[in-house]
Amino acid sequence: MTRLYYDNPYLTSWEAEVIDVVEKEGKFAVTLSQTAFYPEGGGQPSDRGTIDGIQLLDVIEDGGIIYHIHPSKPQSQTVRCEVDFQRRFDHMQQHTGQHILSAVFYNLYSGETSSFHLGEDYVSIDISLPEISDYMLRKVEDTTNDYIYKNLKVKTYIIKPDEVSKLPLRKLPPVADSIRIVEIDGVDYSPCCGTHVRSLGEIGIIKIIKTEKYKGATRVYFKCGKRALLDYQAKQDIVASLSRQFTASEGELIHRGEALSAELKNLSKEVRDLKEKLLGYEAKEIIAASSSNLIVKSFDDKSFEDIQLLSKQIVSLGDYVVILTSTFDRKILLAHSGKSSIHCGKLFKEHLLKYNGRGGGGDRMAQALFADVKDLKSFEKLLVETVKAQL
């Protein structure tokens, strides 16, 4: 089988002879005399396109044979094939971008690339550096884009195993009869079977998006070419929207955001303080209306945070045991001041599973969440009966 994508990754259509068709699980694995469809491998996804006008489902390689996964059996011996070139060129931009980015990490900081993932939404490489500073990232990004601006040529060629030592490869290839090399004009030499652009200028730009720790290394996320442009457009839309919303220039947005955050924090504290005062008055009213030191109340208009604050107010005013329920949040709380012998956490642990609840607590307070209000109310009834028996 001739792999046309090796010599011309820009080829979009061609004719081929059908060599074999194997049916499996309602799909057909088609082998062709020649193909420009790239099979998944080396971190690069497989191509898409059509064979005789029918959409290709997948392209895989097994035992050196490329199989084109088709929803139906080709009707002709000679078929017309077309590659989805928009997808192909995107992969070419990302893959070549990965090569030059990995080369710069290696050349500047001896960071080796251990893996490469080219997904539909993001591209990432794992660099063998446990720490990469913001300065290092900016240096790598600037250097990589400088190479792109120089529009360095990208060459591919085949060498024999005994020629490997003559090239400064970043990574040694597995043993093979012949090895395909992707060279970026004297800057990088890598064994690779993927599809690549002819010169770095076709990448357009590389932008590092973020990093994260991963198994003692650093995973670097980035976008190249059209993906980087779309990402910039989306973020520019967000910035423009925020500028209009806050009536501020782009340069003022960070300061405006920090100021609003501080203001919101202060307002939240004021609201909480006022809420505690109001709940303090409510706690006194509840106690005054109760004829027992067991206080049971259910609320459909209070959040669980509210009933937590309310329970603290009540138990701070005397030797009370409280069972408070928020049907709004489907949660329940059992608490006391510490003078009761009831162990709230143990009581919840003993019965919660029977009522499909999740939660727990300590000796003086326990809480739980339920899937529905029916289970919540049934558990509330059990608590009331159990606590009354212990008082």
Contact present, 118 and 98 (Cβ < 8 Å): yes
Residue 360 Rama label (left phi>0; alpha psi -120 to 50; beta)? left
Question: What pLDDT shows up at residue 175?
Answer: 67
State which residues of the chain have pLDDT below 70. Answer: 175
Residue 106, pLDDT score: 95
Name the pTM for this structure: 0.73
Of 308, 327, 325, residue with least CA distance to 382 = 325
CATH of domain 88-238: 3.30.980.10
Q: In whole angstroms, what is the distance from residue 2 CA to residue 34 CA?
A: 4
- Confidence at residue 168, expressed as pLDDT on a 0 to 100 scale: 84
Residue among 76, 204, 206 at smallest CA distance from 137: 206
- CA-nearest of 213, 204, 232, 219 to 144 is 204
- pLDDT tens track for 246-273: 888 888 888 888 888 898 999 999 988 8
Helices (H) and strands (E) in the chain, counts: 8, 21
In the 8-state DSSP scheme, what is residue 209?
Answer: E
Query: 268-390 adopts what CATH topology?
Result: Diaminopimelate Epimerase; Chain A, domain 1 (3.10.310)
CATH for the 2-83 domain, from 3.40.50.300, 2.40.30.130, 3.40.50.920, 2.40.110.10? 2.40.30.130
CATH 3.10.310.30 domain residues, the chain: 268-390
Residue 172, SS3?
coil
Residue ranges of the chain that CATH labels 2.40.30.130: 2-83
